[in-house]
Amino acid sequence: MQATNKKVPRNARRMPRILLAAALVLSATSAMAQTNGTMLQYFDWDSNGDGQHWNRVKNSSASWATKGITAFWLPPAYKGGAGASDVGYGVYDIWDLGEFNQKGSVRTRWGTKAEYIAAIDAAHAAGIQVYGDIVLNHKTSADLTEWTTGVRVDQNNRNTEYGGDVSLQTWTKFTFPGRLQADGTLKYNNFKWNWYHFDGVDYAQNLGADGCTNCRIYKFRGTGKAWDTGVSTEKGNYDYLMGADLDFAHPDVRSHLKTWGVWYTNTAKLDGFRIDATKHISASFFNEWLYHVRQSTGKTGAFAVSEYWSSDINELNNYVNSVNGTSNDKMSAFDVPLHARFQQAADANGGFDMGSLFNNTLVAAQPTRAATFVDNHDTLEGRALYSKVQDWFKPLAYASILLRQGGYPTVFLGDYEGVPGKVANHSWVIDKMLTGRKFHVYGVQNNYFDNSNVVGWTHEGNAAHWYGMAVLLNDNRSSAGSKWMKVGSGHANQCFNDVTGATTATVCADANGWGNFQVPAGKVTVWVRTGKFGRNSG
C-alpha cells in the first residue's frame, strides 16, 4: 500500500495511542533541552585487539563530540580470563584495569590502566560523558580448584535436579597472585573468592564431559545455597548464565561489590554505567548497589542502563518498574523490543506494517527510561544473541532512534565503521543523522504513522533550534512514496532538501506550513530547510 499524494484530514493521521502520548510528553521536555543526548557504543567483539583501543578513544574524542556524541559506553576495562585477547565479559579480576601481570599480560585487550584513564580524561575534556560496562554476573578462569558438593540441574529448567548430590572439583578459588604485595595482602582489596561465594558452575574437573544429557550445570549445596530470586523465570530460573555464577544472596559478595563499585567509579571518574546481564541477577541487588555507589561517590545523578535482554514488553516493563521504586535507584533499560521490531521489519522486505513500528516497545511505554539501539556486539552473526538488522534497513532504523524525541539512542561502532563479512559501513548516513539530531530534533513533533509502508514525522523547531525537519521512511523496496506532513507555520513557503542524497528533489511548504515530502523505494529521506542543515541560529 502506497502513501497518497493528497493531503489527508488531521483526524486521519493516526498513530498508536500510547506512542502519541509518549511523543507529547517528550515534546515538552525536549523543548527545554540544550543538546540532544546520544551514546556511542565504542567497541565491538571484532574491534582491534592490538591494545591501542584506549589511545584511539583518547585521540578521537574531540571529533566524536563535534559529530554530536555526548557519551561513550566503553567496553569492560578489567582483566578477563583470556588476558589480552578477552573482550572483557569473561571476568577474572575486576580490580585489575590493565595494571598487573595476570592471565598472560599486563594490558587488557583494550590497553593499560594508565591509557584507560587518559582516554576518559580526553573524553571529559571534549564534553563527553563515560559509562563503564559493569559485568558482575560471573567470574571465569579461577586460579585454583576446590572441592564442594552440588547437584546436576536441567539446562532448560534449572529447577529440575538429576541424580542426587555429587562431589565437585570446581574452578572457583580466585587468589589473584598478580596483585600480591610484599606484606602478603592484595593491592587495592584483599578479598578472595571461594566456592561459597557462587551458586553454581557448568564444569567439574573430576567429572569431565559428564554424560548426563541437558544437565551440565551444577547447583551448589550448602547453607543458604539456592538459585537467586528476582531473576528472569526463563528456563525456570535464569540465575545461571556462565562461568562461576555469583551468589548475590551472600552478604560478603554484596558488600565487596559495593566497595569495588565506589573504587571503580572514583578511579575511572565514571559518569554512569551500562550494566550487563541483569535478567540473571537479583533486581534488588542493583537497587542497593546503585544507591550505595551514587551516594558514596557524590554522583547521585550517575546514569545507569540495564541490559535486560527480553523482547517481551511486559517482562521488560516489569523489570524497569521493579528497579525504579525508590528515590535514588533510577535505571533505564535497552529497548530490546524495538530492536526486535527493526529486525522483523528488515526481514519482511516490505511486508511489515510500518505504522506499528513502535508498538509494544519501551520507548513508547516509558520514553524517559528507554535506551534505543539498532544492533550491538551481541546481535551480529555468530554472537550469543544473534538478531542482526539487515543492512538495507539500518538507515531507516537509525532515523527512528536518532531523529525522534523519546529514548536515549545508541550508535554502535560496528554499524558506524562496518564489521568485515557482517555489517556494512554506515558512517556517512549516521553522520548526517547525528548532525540532524544535534541541531534539528526540537520543538513540536508531528507523527504520521498512518500507512503500512510509508511513515514519517516532523519537528517544527524551537526558539534556539528553529530550522525544523521532516523524516520519511519507506520499507517498500519496489515503489516510491510520498506524504503530506506539517512542518509548522514557522516554515510556511520555505523549501526543503533531503540531506541523505536519496533524492535531489526540492519540496516547498505551502502557506500553512504543509509539504508533500517524497521517499524512494526502501529508503529514508531527511528533509531540512534549504541551506540550513547543521545550524541552530540565524
Centre a 10 Å sphere on the Cβ of residue 211 and count the other Cβ atoms it contains.
8
Q: Which residues lie below 8 Å from residue 340, measured CB to CB, with a gap of 6+?
A: 311, 387
Report phi then psi at 166, rounded to 5: -135, 150
Reported as half-sphere exposure (CB side, CA atoms, 13 A), residue 212 has a value of 21
Specify the 3-state DSSP secondary structure of 161. Answer: strand
Annotated catalytic residue within 245, 307, 415, 450: 307
Give the H or E element holding residue 41. strand 39-41
Residue 94 grid coordinates: 575486576
Whole-angstrom distance, CA of residue 128 vs CA of residue 121: 10
Q: What's the Cα-to-Cα distance from 70 to each of 41, 65, 307, 438, 505, rounded to whole Å?
A: 11, 6, 20, 10, 33
Reported as half-sphere exposure (CB side, CA atoms, 13 A), residue 248 has a value of 22
Helical segments of 394-525, H only: 394-402, 413-417, 427-440
Whole-angstrom distance, CA of residue 238 vs CA of residue 103: 29
Reported as half-sphere exposure (CB side, CA atoms, 13 A), residue 10 has a value of 3
Whole-angstrom distance, CA of residue 220 vs CA of residue 168: 9
- For the chain, the residue count is 538
Any idea which residue has 585454583 for its cell? 144
- Can you name the residues that pair with 150 across neighbouring β-strands? 166, 220
* Cα–Cα nearest to 126, from 134, 118, 137, 115: 118
Annotated catalytic residue within 93, 199, 239, 276: 276
Report phi then psi at 147, rounded to 5: -100, 140
Is 307 an active-site residue? Answer: yes
Q: Judge residue 247's burial from the number of C-beta atoms within 10 Å of its C-beta, 0-12 exposed, 13-18 middle, 19 or more buried.
A: buried
Catalytic residue positions, numbered:
276, 307
